[in-house]
Amino acid sequence: MEKPVVFVISDSVGETAEFVVKAALSQFIYDQEYEMHRFPYIDNKMTLKKAVQLAKDKQGIIGFTLVDPELRNYLKTESKIQHVECIDIMGPMISAMERAFSRKPRLEPGLIHQLDEDYFKRIEAIEFAVRYDDGRDPRGIQQSDIVLIGVSRTSKTPLSQYLAHKRLKVANVPIVPEVEPPSELFKANPAKCIGLKINPQKLNDIRKERLKALGLGDRAIYANMERINKELEHFQSIVEKIKCPVIDVSYKAVEETANVILTIMRK
């Protein structure tokens, strides 16, 4: 048996057509012995005409995904004239959906890859937020879209994750009086740094609840008002030095704070 020859034609990358063609080929070929030619990003009839001629010369068949009805019809007509087997992989599905949904298709090539790209950007941002959480690695400050700065229990981590789902790379830096902030923080663009301030009493309540949840007494220095005031004063000195925007998160849900941050970033 001669090696089968298949031409994959698409107005985008051509991965969808290639995947379907390979799935069909697997029903006939056991050792991957076939020849495949891919014609991606097709947007004109001249290239289609050449592809059909090549398919005829090699006695091959064509599998294609073209969303433009004019190009689809031209390819089918030209293939018929040249007696080349030509399979419209996506057209019948688009036509059926147009009838079923009573809605016109967008006819934009490559939309599925835009969706894939969006998904992978979101995953990348989530992984970034985990990697650079709580000042774990100061190198993330330079690479990030947003840097959150605040004392412990100001929702830095949940905010980082929430913003990551918006495809933003977020690093967060904890502010502790005994630990000098990383030098990278003072080299970063102040416009992408956001300070998270909080009411001392509110922070005291949050920390007491946290200690109880951990099975510890609520009198630990972590929830001591004197200690809290010291931390907040140190935080204030840091954000003043950076000259970055500051948001009061005392009585805001994570979603509210995130929306304020997004508004600041847009400006």
C-alpha closest to that of 147 among 177, 116, 190, 112? 190
250 is in an annotated binding site: no
Q: Is 170 annotated as a binding residue?
A: no
Distance CA 241, CA 233 (A): 12
Q: Is 104 annotated as a binding residue?
A: no
Check: CB of residue 17 under 8 Å from CB of residue 10: yes
Q: Does the annotation flag 263 for ligand binding?
A: no
Residue 183, exposed/middle/buried by CB under 10 A (0-12, 13-18, 19+)?
exposed
Residue 2, token pair as written in the block: 């001669």
**Backbone angles phi and psi of 120, in degrees to 5:** -70, -30
Q: Is 156 annotated as a binding residue?
A: yes
131 annotated binding-site participant: no
Summarize the annotated binding site for ADP as residue ranges.
150-157
- Annotation: binding site: 150-157
